[in-house]
Each structure stands twice: as C-alpha cells, then as structure tokens.
Amino acid sequence: MLTGTAKETYAADEALLTTRPHKLWMAAFMALLAVAPFLLNDYWLYLLCLATIYVASATGLNILTGYTGLVSLGHAAFMAVGAYTVAFLERETGLPFLLNILLGGLLAAALGAVVGLPSLRVKGLYLAIATIAFSFILHFVFVHFEGVTGGNRGINVAPATIFGHELSTYFDLYYVIMPVTVLLVLGAANLFRTRIGRAFIAIRDRDISAEVLGIPLLRYKLMSFAVAAFYAGVAGGLWAYFFRLVTPETFPLLTSIFLLAAIIVGGMGTILGGIIGAVFMTLTPEALRVVVDILSLFVDNAAGVLSPIRTVVFGGLIILFLVFEPQGLAEIIQRMRRFLQLWPYKR
C-alpha cells in the first residue's frame, strides 16, 4: 500500500524516497530520462533540453525565494554571468567544458553573495527592487565591458568538446544538460536534509526568531544567495553551450520574471514545484502555438497575435495561480495523489 508508512528511525524520516512504489516510480522516471533522446524527435528534444536548463535555474531560485523567503528579480542576471563566463573561458582558454560551467557557477555564486549584501538591511519588496536594480547595472556592464563580453554583438561560443568529439546536436547536449540538472536537483533536495537547509527554512518562517535560535542571519542569507546564483550560473553555462551565442539581450528582466513565475506556478518551497513549474512554463507557449495553428484554419491572421497572446497567458497564469492556488501545481499533484490513494474508500 502507498498509505500508512510508519517511520521507525530518524534516517527513514529524513529519507527522500520513503516507500517502495515511490522508489520504483522514481527509477522508472530516471530510466525514461536516460532513453528520452531515442524516443523524441529533434524538436521535442530541443524543448526538453530548454526546459531542463530552466529547471536547473528555477530550482536555484526556489532555494532562494521558496525556501529562504528572499525574493529575487535578478535571477536571469546570474544566468547571464554564468553564460558569459563560459563563453569567455571557451574563447580564451582551452579548459574542459565541464570545468568552464563549474567556474561560471562559482563566479555567479561569488557575485550572488555580493548582491545578497543588502538583504540584511532591506527585505521583501525592497529586496526584490534591489535585485532589479542590480540586474540593470549588470546589463550595463555586459554592454560596456567590451574586451570580455563583446559589447552588444555578444560572444559566439564554440561547441563543447569531449575527447575531441564535438557536442553539437541536441542528442549529444541532452546527455550533458540532463545529468547536470539531475545532480543539481538532487543537491537541492538533499540540502534541506542538512543544517544549512533547515536554517534557510527557519529564516523564511521568521527571521528574527531564527536569529534568536542562533542562526547568523547575514551569513545564511548570503549563502542562500550564493547557492541560488550558483544554480543560475550553471544553468546559464549550459544555455551558452546550447545556443552558442550570448548577448546582453539574452537574459532580460523578463527571464527573471519567467523564472519567478515558474516557481509560483509550480509551487514555492517544494523541489517538485521548481521542476514542474519550469517545464510547464516552457511548454505553455508551445501549446499556445498549437492552439493558434488550429485557430488559423478559421480566423485569418491568427499567427500575428501569437506573441501578445503568449504575453497575456503568461501574466494570466501568474495571477490565476497566486489568487486561486498559491501552493501551485505541486499541491494539485499531491491532492490528486491523495485522492487516488484513498479512492474507493473515501466518501
């Protein structure tokens, strides 16, 4: 049975996967992820890779916003830092590409700690606005620091190579992007089994009480910023190898809003939320495209209104979820699971 799990040890209580069906489903899911490129065509593989990159970034933002309660609207800027670092290293040095991505993440993390500095002085809305300001300043740096960033033209990124083999197809890239993201998500899930992760949650729930309980606020807030920025930096590095061009316009404020929307729609403060939110938000525009394609049989110029409709639906999703289901898709899934478990007996 899925229900009625009696936990007898602390280890069992903290475990990520508790029941046998849970483990089986997860194993099946992992196996599916492993063979996905053989089952999908190039278009769907492209979408899957893109969604996976966003999953990595959204999971980072979820650590910061969902678990630590610090709202950031500058997350895309951290992705940009990772992407630029990777592009720069790829152009200037012969370092292996995984190391480049790691360095991109670390540089973003360092910057994240700096951006987090105002977080002890201001919080909530003010912090969100400070991060907007930060992302605009960083945009200026990208445009004007031409020797490194190539100014408005940006940098072309050479394809990642491993043992002399160029990773240029989506098929190859998938096997880089997916494992990295799985590792990151796993890391996030495990983070909240440790002292640090629990400190984050304590800060979210009541920062003053957390300090009374002996959690140094500034250190943990900065740590949260750094971890979130690391995730974004790695995601940005993956992005750089995926699209092979980085410009100042690649990561606008809209991407930050997109990521925040993803964790709102998915469910703040749950690992699952970050994942399904990012996938959902990546796939929704495609679903809309299909709808518009069908509509264009009956209405002329339906294709012309696709982009504004996407904008409206994007904003509408944020509003609807916040008003009607603030816990997000993750909560809906939990509810469905409970329903199915109790199904014939519950009245």
Partner 1 sequence: MDWLFFAEVSMAGLGSGALLALTALAFVLIYKATKIINLAVGEVLMFGGYLYFAFAAGWGLPAWASIPLAVIGGGVVGGIVERGIIRPMLGENPISVFMVTVGLGSVLIGLTELIWGPNPRSVPAFVPSSPVFIGEAYVSRKILVSFVVAGVVIALFALLFRFWRGGVALRATATDQAAAYSCGIDVPRVFAAAWILGCATAAGAGVLLGSIGGLSVEMGAFGLSALAVVIVGGLDSILGALIGGLTLGLVQSWTSTYWGGEYVNLTTFSILLAALVVRPYGLFGTHDIERL
Residue 287 lies near partner 1 (rule: CB under 8 A): no
Torsion-angle region of 246 (φ positive above 0: left; ψ -120 to 50: alpha; else: beta): beta
Number of other residues whose CB lies within 10 A of the CB of residue 32: 10
At closest approach, how far in Å is the CB of 279 from partner 1? 19
At closest approach, how far in Å is the CB of 304 from partner 1? 9
Residue 35 lies near partner 1 (rule: CB under 8 A): no
In terms of C-beta density within 10 A (0-12 exposed, 13-18 middle, 19 or more buried), how is residue 2 classed? middle
Among 118, 159, 187, 285, binds partner 1 (CB under 8 A): 118
Give me the residues paired with residue 160 across strands: 167
Residue 136 lies near partner 1 (rule: CB under 8 A): yes
Among 209, 219, 245, 303, binds partner 1 (CB under 8 A): 209
Q: Measured from the CB atom, is 130 or 222 closer to partner 1?
A: 130
Among 1, 290, 323, 340, binds partner 1 (CB under 8 A): 323
Residue 217 lies near partner 1 (rule: CB under 8 A): no
Among 61, 318, 329, 330, binds partner 1 (CB under 8 A): 318
Instruction: Give the pair of three-digit tokens for residue 328.
Output: 């997000």
Beta-carbon contacts of residue 61 (< 8 Å; ≥ 6 apart): 72, 75, 228, 231, 232, 259, 260, 262, 263, 274
Number of residues that bind partner 1 (CB under 8 A): 42
3-class state of residue 121 by DSSP: coil
Residue located via tokens 């909240």: 192
Q: Measured from the CB atom, is 57 or 65 closer to partner 1?
A: 65
Show the site string, 222-261: x = touches partner 1 by CB under 8 A, - = not. -----------------------------------x--xx
Residue 205 lies near partner 1 (rule: CB under 8 A): no
Question: Could you tell me where the DSSP H helices lie in 121-244?
Answer: 125-144, 146-149, 170-191, 195-205, 207-212, 217-243
CA distances from 286 to 9, 54, 253, 266, 272 (A): 46, 15, 21, 18, 22
Binding site for partner 1 (CB under 8 A): 71, 118, 121-122, 124-126, 128-130, 132-134, 136-137, 139-140, 143-144, 208-209, 257, 260-261, 264, 305, 307-319, 322-323, 326
